[in-house]
Structure 1
Amino acid sequence: MEPSLQTNQPADQRVDRSIFNADNNFIYAWQQMMATSPKGEIQILDDLVITNCGISIPFFNTVFTSSQRIVTEQDITVAKDYFSKINKSFQFCVHEPWSVQSRDLFKEQGFVLETVLPGMTFPDDRELPVNNDVLSVIQPSTEDELSQYITLVCEAYELPEWLARQILNTDFIAQPNVHLYLALVEGIPVSTSMLVNTPEVAGIYWVATGKASRKKGYGELVTWHAVREALQQGYSNVILQASAMGQPIYQRMGFENICRYELWNYDVG
């Protein structure tokens, strides 16, 4: 069985199981990327999961609540205390309906809404398209192939290479429930995706296409590859968090919205 972050479902709250499982996968993926990073650190304080990448980039310094509830003033105090001691900016990640109920508190506490990520799931009764073999997809196994993968991720997400290598480090990608996919066309790397599996779901991350290869459908095709791989591995539930660029593509593929994650940034100054 794949590892999973243990979260607590409140007894008085009927939790949508698909969102609950998606949360587990999302938190687990972030937790493992930071835990294996050379400068990373994970702190679990009560039911707060704090991921720290070791540098002041809020997107990778994320605070999650591991139970389905609103964010409290005490949660924010704990997070501020932790990141203030190491002088690093951070973000809170919270989804509907709890995000709606937490917005006023975030604003009062000096947070800024940075972005909204739709949480999406692929229905298990959706028919898959025929694989037309436009792409040749491999799992990077050499340093050269991993470098090609990281180059595409850096270009698509505008990350410095040293940071991408810190996040997508060898200890993380060597885990048996982590699967990287590098798509090539006539031997040229064009797109990437990644699966992170937890017991209930397979999560798709790091879908990226090089700028020179965009608007050719490669991102969609490498996402389909990840979906097929997840289904072949026995998963009926496949989830992802969509960017603004990716959401229309995923909707066309048949992914359905299950929630919206709000990312609230705090600058420690």
Structure 2
Amino acid sequence: MSEIIKEATVDELITANQRNLLGFFYLTSQNAKEINYYDDEGIEGIYSPNMPVNVINRIIRTDTIEENFDDVKERVSQFYGKKGAPLFWEVWPTNSTSDVEMELKNSGFSYSHEYPAMIIKLDQVKIKELTNFEIKIVKNEYDARTLANLFQEIYQLPDAGGEDFYNTIVNSGYDSDLVSYIGYEESEPVCIATIYYHAGVAGIYNVGTKEKYCRKGYGRKITEVALLDAKKRGFEFGILQSSDQGYKVYQRMGFENQCMVQSYKK
């Protein structure tokens, strides 16, 4: 775990968000059969030919010499093509190459979607009390299997996706920089969340609730508990990358937009 960030500029915190995301995927790739990490000349991302969805087939970091970018783009495109993986290339405001968006468009990429990178000061987090709802930290293989099964069901993943997540949790240990939570309604496991301590910030991932238990505030509550645990560890900032579905919930919790991350598809 890197040194905890106490004070930082806007750009430094955006970079921390991005580095936390990359660290999370790198850790996953070390324990997964289906998710692979790409790292070449300042270009970092992930790919998974057998799971052709944008969230795990993307370039996240572009930090290369501008004069070399044309060659790098071509090499990355060829690599993903040979692997049979779709390629989504993200544009963050902290990219070293000044006009990644235009360079991508000129190379046949088209706009796909965008999402907000968000941040919260942990001293702003407050717990919303709920009845008949209990949250437990994953501490053993039985819990990890319950978590992985929920993850697979909630995100409608193939068996390989659930198994990769299970292996990541088990192999990372239960008192490490990766901590996972399960929420129970009257002993029934219904929601999940994971927090990853990396790049000086606490990153929230994989928040999800079983469909029949949605709109009860469980996703918000389990996220709040994870963030308060981060505060107890001495962290100052929590970060995440939001889906459309979770955006308003995170806003109500006190998360603020850092930037919009645009994604372009080859």
For normalisation by structure 1, the TM-score amounts to 0.83
Aligned counterparts of 2:130 and 2:215: Cα–Cα separation in 1:
17
Work out whether 1:60 is the aligned partner of 2:40: no
Is this contact kept in 1: 2:2–2:199, CA < 8 A?
A: yes
Work out whether 1:81 is the aligned partner of 2:78: yes
| Aligned residue pair count | 255
Aligned counterparts of 2:110 and 2:72: Cα–Cα separation in 1:
16
Residues 67, 56 of structure 1: alpha-carbon distance in 2 compared, 3 angstrom cutoff: same
- Describe the superposition over 1:121-151 as per-residue Cα deviations: whole angstroms up to 9, x where unpaired: 1124415236556531122344443333233
**Cα offset for 1:177?**
0.8
Residues 213, 199 of structure 1: alpha-carbon distance in 2 compared, 3 angstrom cutoff: same
- Counterpart AA for 1:90: L
Work out whether 1:256 is the aligned partner of 2:256: yes
1:94 to 91, 95, 112: 91
Aligned counterparts of 2:123 and 2:183: Cα–Cα separation in 1:
26
Aligned counterparts of 1:109 and 1:184: Cα–Cα separation in 2:
48
Q: Which moved more, 1:157-166 or 1:61-70?
A: 61-70
Residues 124, 163 of structure 1: alpha-carbon distance in 2 compared, 3 angstrom cutoff: closer
Gaps of 5+ in 2: 4-8
Is this contact kept in 2: 1:56–1:90, CA < 8 A?
A: no
Residues 53, 36 of structure 1: alpha-carbon distance in 2 compared, 3 angstrom cutoff: farther
Residues 218, 258 of structure 1: alpha-carbon distance in 2 compared, 3 angstrom cutoff: same
- Describe the superposition over 1:80-104 as per-residue Cα deviations: whole angstroms up to 9, x where unpaired: 1211222222221222375994333
**Cα offset for 1:116?**
1.5
Aligned counterparts of 1:39 and 1:137: Cα–Cα separation in 2:
29
**Cα offset for 1:43?**
3.4
Aligned counterparts of 2:64 and 2:246: Cα–Cα separation in 1:
26
Aligned counterparts of 1:163 and 1:132: Cα–Cα separation in 2:
31
Aligned counterparts of 1:259 and 1:131: Cα–Cα separation in 2:
31
- Counterpart AA for 2:136: I
> SS at the partner of 1:245?
helix
Q: How does 1:1-269 map to 2 (within 5 A)?
A: 2=1, 16-57=11-52, 58-65=54-61, 67=63, 72-96=69-93, 101-129=99-127, 131-132=129-130, 134-166=132-164, 168-175=165-172, 176-266=176-266
For normalisation by structure 2, the TM-score amounts to 0.84
> SS at the partner of 2:50?
coil
Q: Which moved more, 1:220-229 or 1:67-76?
A: 67-76
Q: Which moved more, 1:106-115 or 1:212-221?
A: 106-115
Residues 39, 155 of structure 1: alpha-carbon distance in 2 compared, 3 angstrom cutoff: closer
Is this contact kept in 2: 1:41–1:54, CA < 8 A?
A: no
Aligned counterparts of 2:64 and 2:258: Cα–Cα separation in 1:
14
> SS at the partner of 1:180?
strand
Aligned counterparts of 1:74 and 1:15: Cα–Cα separation in 2:
31
- Counterpart AA for 2:108: G
Aligned counterparts of 1:97 and 1:197: Cα–Cα separation in 2:
21
* Identity score, percent: 20
Aligned counterparts of 2:47 and 2:211: Cα–Cα separation in 1:
29
Gaps of 5+ in 1: 5-13
- Counterpart AA for 1:182: I
**Cα offset for 1:35?**
2.7
Is this contact kept in 2: 1:173–1:179, CA < 8 A?
A: no
